[in-house]
Amino acid sequence: MNQVIELIQSHRSIRKYKDTPLTNEQVETIIQSAQMASSSNHMQAYSVIGVTDPNVKKRLAILAGNQVYVERCPLFLVWCADLHRLKVACSLQDTEMVAGTTENFIVATVDTALAAQNAAIAAESMGLGIVYIGGIRNNPKEVAKLLHLPELVYPVFGMCVGMPDHDPGQRPRLPLELIYHENRYDPEKAKKGIEEYDQMMRRYYLNRTHHSRDTTWSKEMAAIMRQPNRKHLRSFLEGQGFRLE
Ligand SMILES: Cc1cc2nc3c(=O)[nH]c(=O)nc-3n(C[C@H](O)[C@H](O)[C@H](O)COP(=O)(O)O)c2cc1C
C-alpha cells in the first residue's frame, strides 16, 4: 500500500475538534486541492463558503438539526452547486443560459461532491478531521438566506473541518463483492451479502464506545428509507432556479 491509499482507507468522520483555528495556508491548500478535482466539461459548477464566524456557525448548527459540532469546529465549509457563475459567463458572451435541466442539476451537484471529497482527503492528509453535514438541507431556504446565496446556487452539504479531539473507530463497509460487479450487474448477490454484513454491523454497533446499541445495517436503512425525506427540497430547488426538466 502506498501512503495515499493508506490515508484514504484510514478515513473516519470526526465529530469532536480542538479549538485550534486553521491557518490561511491550510485553508488555501484544502480549497486548491478541491479545485483540482475533475469537472464536467471544465464547468467547475460549485462554490464553497468557509464559515468561521461563531454566530453564523451557531445558526447553521441549529438549522442543520442541532448538530453541535457545526458550531464547535473551527471551520465549517458549505459546499454549493453553482450555475450562477455560468450564467454570468454566458451573459459575457451575450447568450442566455438554459439552466433548468436535470442534466445541469446533476452536473453541478456531482462537481460539488467531487471537489468536496478532494478537500476532505487534503484535510485528512494534513492531520485534520472532517465530517460531511447533509443536515444543512433540513432548512435550505434559511441556509441560503443566511449565506446570501443567489439564484442558481444551492447548498449540497456542509463539512466540519478541524484538528480531531477524539478517535472514533472506523465503520465497516459493505463487502466489496456487493459494490463491485464484474462485466454485468448481479442483483442476486444483494440479499445474502446484506445478511452477512448485518452480522458484522451488529457487532460494530454493540461494541462501539459511543451510542452502543443492538441494531443492524438493514434495520437502520429501513428506518431511513421507509419514509420520504426532505420533501421540501424540490420546491426549494425550483425557487433557486434549478428546475428539473
Ligand atoms: C453527503 C453526506 C452527508 C452527511 N451528513 C451527516 C450529518 O448531517 N451529520 C453527521 O453526523 N454525519 C453526516 N455524514 C457522515 C456519515 O454519517 C458518515 O460518513 C458515514 O456514517 C460513514 O462513517 P465514516 O465517515 O466515519 O466512515 C454525512 C455524510 C455524507 C457523505
Report mean pLDDT in 10-residue bins for the chain, 245 residues.
Answer: 97 98 98 98 98 98 98 98 97 92 95 99 98 98 98 98 96 97 96 97 93 96 96 95 87
- Hey, which of 8, 10, 13, 114 would you mutate to test ligand 1's pocket, going by the most ligand atoms within 8 Å of its Cβ? 13
pLDDT, residue 99, reads 76
pLDDT, residue 200, reads 97
In a domain, 245, yes or no: no
Residues 69 and 126 in one domain: yes
How far apart are alpha carbons 99 and 101 in whole angstroms?
6
pLDDT, residue 174, reads 98
How far apart are alpha carbons 129 and 120 in whole angstroms?
8
- Hey, which of 124, 133, 174 would you mutate to test ligand 1's pocket, going by the most ligand atoms within 8 Å of its Cβ? 133
Q: What is the 3-state secondary structure (H, E, C) of 134-161?
A: HHHHCCHHHHHHHCCCCCCEEEEEEEEE
Closest CA to 61 of 121, 12, 131, 123: 131
**Domain ranges, residue 151:** 3-169
Closest CA to 204 of 194, 217, 219: 217
Residue minimizing CA distance to atom 14 of ligand 1? 132
CA of 183 to the centre of ligand 1 (A): 30
- Hey, which of 12, 132, 174, 215 would you mutate to test ligand 1's pocket, going by the most ligand atoms within 8 Å of its Cβ? 132
Residue minimizing CA distance to atom 30 of ligand 1? 132
Residue 31 cell numbers, joined? 480549497
CA of 44 to the centre of ligand 1 (A): 24
Ligand 1: residues whose CB is within 6 Å? 11-13, 15, 67, 131-135, 157, 171
Task: Report the nearest atom of ligand 1 relative to the CA of 113.
Answer: 1
Residues 192 and 139 in one domain: no
- Do the beta carbons of residue 125 and residue 151 sit within 8 Å? no
β-strand 129-133 against 46-51: which pairing, if any? unpaired
CA of 95 to the centre of ligand 1 (A): 40
Domain total in the chain: 2
Residues 104 and 139 in one domain: yes
Residues 191 and 129 in one domain: no
Residues 182 and 217 in one domain: yes
Residues 161 and 184 in one domain: no
In a domain, 240, yes or no: no
R_g of the chain, CA atoms, integer Å: 20
Half-sphere exposure of 175 (CA within 13 A, CB side): 15
pLDDT, residue 100, reads 77
pLDDT, residue 131, reads 98
Continuous segment of H or E residues that includes residue 77:
strand 75-82
Residues 144 and 26 in one domain: yes
pLDDT, residue 87, reads 96
